[in-house]
Structure 1
Amino acid sequence: MDDIVKQAMARWPNVPDCFGWLGLDARGQWFLRDEETQSRGPFAQSKGSLVEHEKLQAFIARNYARDELGRWFFQNGPQRVYVELEAAPFVWRLQPDGQVQAHTGVRVMPEACLVDEQGRVYLVAAPGLGLVHSQDVLLLAEWLEQKRWPQEEVLADSLPQRFRFVASPAQQALA
């Protein structure tokens, strides 16, 4: 977490949390969701505005974390902005050199591979569960043939409970 964020948290400890205003899609892209976007439906159905500014993307990535309830958030100064997840907390990019990198830039060593009923592939790593980016399926197919990780078939609906993450903190907050 950035030092400036830690300083803001210490200076203003009681800033209310923010729900529904930020989403992470299945391709590892951040989306800002204003009130009008939120009124049109849940994330993925109504995504919002793509965050294209590279420095803002990097700032979000550096300050992306999980709380004790399994809700992923972006710590924006003193305010927690909870993230609506289309698929999983991370989106993995497979690198030609054999590395796996999160949408946040962190490199990981996956421990297992999961395939859901729609054929989507997830990798389990220390930071959490992540969906393999759709552009990496050819490289993924090679790696699966090499049996790099134990594979397991799963139901997508079981993943949030199994890997302790909340796909929609906004809907949970309304409940």
Structure 2
Amino acid sequence: MDDLVLQAMAKWPNVPDCYGWLGLDARGDWYMRDDQVQALGTFTQSKGSRLAHEKLIDFIGRNYTNDKQGLWFFQNGPQRVYVELEATPFVWRLQPDSSIQSHTGSSARMQRCIVDEYGRLYLDTEQGFGLLHTQDVVHAADFIETGLWVPQVMPTSELPKRFGYVRSPQQTQRKEQA
């Protein structure tokens, strides 16, 4: 995390958490979701405004992490902004040298690949679990056909529990408050 974020956390330790205002889609794009957008439904129903400011996107990426319950968040100074996930906590991209890079720009090594009932390809890495970007599926198919990657089949519904992530912290928080 950025030093300024760590300093803010120490200075203001009791800032309330924020739910529902930030989303990550299946292509690795961040979305801002104001009250009006949230009133229209879940993140999969109403995404909001796609963030395009590169410095803001980089700041979010540097301060994006998870807690022990599998809730992913962006540490915005002293405040945790929990992230609604359209699919998974990471979206992986294949690089020209066949390495893997996350939507946040960090490199990783694949430990295994998973394919779901819809043919979507996921990668489990030492950094975490994520969906392979749709633009890279053709290249990944070459790895599968040559035997470099051997995907395990797993239903989509089992992925969050198996790989320890929560797609909607906002819905989880609402259930806990009820």
TM-score normalised by L of structure 2: 0.97
Distance 1:73 1:13 in 2: 16
RMSD: 0.7
Moved over 2 A (4+): 146-150
Shift of 1:123: 0.5
Residue 104 of structure 1: aligned partner? 104
Shift of 1:146: 2.4
8 Å CA contact 1:93–1:136 kept in 2: the answer is yes
1:136 to 2:136 alignment = yes
Counterpart mapping for 1:152-163 below 5 A: 152-163=152-163
8 Å CA contact 1:61–1:104 kept in 2: the answer is yes
Distance 2:40 2:57 in 1: 24
Residue 79 of structure 2: aligned partner? 79
Distance 1:86 1:28 in 2: 10
Counterpart mapping for 1:10-25 below 5 A: 10-25=10-25
Q: Which runs of 5+ in 2 are unaligned?
A: none
* AA aligned opposite 2:26: A
Residue 145 of structure 2: aligned partner? 145
Distance 2:70 2:153 in 1: 23
Describe the SS at the equivalent of 1:111: strand
8 Å CA contact 1:72–1:166 kept in 2: the answer is yes
Describe the SS at the equivalent of 1:148: coil
My pick for the range that moved more, 145-154 or 24-33, is: 145-154
Distance 1:125 1:148 in 2: 16
Shift of 1:44: 1.8
Describe the SS at the equivalent of 1:101: strand
1:88 to 2:88 alignment = yes
Shift of 1:138: 1.3
Distance 1:104 1:146 in 2: 29
Q: Once the two structures are superposed, what CA deviation does each residue of 1:116-144 show, in whole Å capped at 9, x if it has no partner? A: 01110000001111100001111111111
Distance 2:6 2:152 in 1: 40
Residue 172 of structure 1: aligned partner? 172
Describe the SS at the equivalent of 2:124: strand
Residue 33 of structure 2: aligned partner? 33
Shift of 1:150: 3.3
8 Å CA contact 1:111–1:149 kept in 2: the answer is no
Distance 1:58 1:7 in 2: 19
State percent identity of aligned pairs.
58
* AA aligned opposite 1:60: I
TM-score normalised by L of structure 1: 0.98
8 Å CA contact 1:110–1:149 kept in 2: the answer is no
Q: Which runs of 5+ in 1 are unaligned?
A: none
Change (3 A) 1:149 1:141: closer
